[in-house]
Amino acid sequence: MLDQPRLRIAVLAALGRNPVSGAARPNPDDLLALDIALQLSSDVTLLHVGTDTETALGDYFAYGAINLLVVPAGPDIAAQLAERLSGYDLILTGTRSEGGQGSGMVPYLVAEQRGLPIVAQALDLSIANGHVEITQSLPKGQRRHVRVSLPAVVAIHPKAPAKPRYAFARRAHGRLLQVPSSGAAPATVSAWRTEPAIKRPVKFKAAETKSGHARMLSAVATDAKGGAVISSGTPAEKAQAILFYLREHKLIDW
């Protein structure tokens, strides 16, 4: 915080949705981004697309935000955000919004419109010499270190080791700034039709053209293929066969 006094960070924050009650709440991923931003700099601005009447926005102040800029909703959220994001060194977001579509597209669209590099799945970041070094989370416990120059967009992974803390006293001390509406209303025609998610998704399958007899047989038959069986030879040869199999499939590199 001390060696980077002028680092300006913007955090893109949406409102989440409590999975049990359905009530609006801060998006958990965005809270992680806010917490990481507060560790890096004292100049952190939160950007939210919506209206300033949403009471759950106050919880972001309780979690440590000081400046909150509310951009009125229009036809293109990413374009509106991108318009407001000039002059920031680092733009942090969560990975998926919990209250909306949750497609994880917004950070990419913002980065593309501002022409900035974007790194997702970030667990940890550090700033050095105008660059940001990021530790990414990959499946199977792998980690990857990546460096990009500032300014950049970074999407924080849900498992980032940040611990946002709620303090009720901070709730009253935040500064909320409403950007005047440009007049463009949100798009009313959507390609999407929504319904309550009650049914389990159906798998996409090939149309069944087989005869009843063939279907019966495919239901009876086990699809277990059974691989090679080695039953002769000394134990040493058999151990070598295992190693040969592993090498052949590039599963070990020695």
Partner 1 sequence: MTSPAKRLNTRRPFHVTPQGLKRIILGEIGAAGTLQHFAAHHETAPKPLRLTQAPTNHILVIAHTDRGGFDAQAQQAIAAAALLARADAAVAVLVLGSLTDDLTTLGADSIFVAPDCESGLFNPDLELAIATDIIGKLNPLHILLPDNAIGDGDLGRRLAARLGADAAAHVVELKADALATHWQGGATLARRTLPRILLLDPETTDTALAFRGVGETLDYAAAETPASAYAHLGTPAIDTAKLALEEADFIVSAGNGVTDVPTLQAVADAFGAAVGASRVAVDDGKFARDKQIGATGKTVTANVYLAIGISGAVQHLQGIRACRHVIAINTDASAPIAKRADLTIVDDAQQIMEQLLHATRGRNFTAADQEA
Restricting to residues 156-175, which ones interact with partner 1 according to CB under 8 A? none
Shortest distance, CB of residue 154 to partner 1, whole angstroms?
12
89-108: contacts with partner 1 (CB under 8 A): 98-105, 108
Question: CA–CA separation, 130 vs 152, rounded Å?
Answer: 10
CB 175 within 8 A of CB 67: yes
DSSP for 100-151 reads S---S-HHHHHHHHHT--EEEEEEEEEEETTEEEEEEE-STT-EEEEEEESS
Q: Which is nearer to partner 1, 22 or 180 (CB)?
A: 22
Q: How many CA atoms lie within 13 A of 190 on its CB side?
A: 9
The verdict on 130 binding partner 1 (CB under 8 A) reads: no
Minimum distance from CB of 221 to partner 1 (Å)?
A: 7
Using CB under 8 A, which of the segments 47-55, 65-73, 162-170, 188-196 binds partner 1? 188-196
Spatial distance between the Cα atoms of 48 and 60, rounded to a whole number of angstroms: 11
Q: Does 241 bind partner 1 (CB under 8 A)?
A: yes
Does 14 interact with partner 1 (rule: CB under 8 A)? no
Span from 50-58, 61-69, 136-144, 163-171 in contact with partner 1 (CB under 8 A): 136-144
SS3 state at 212: helix
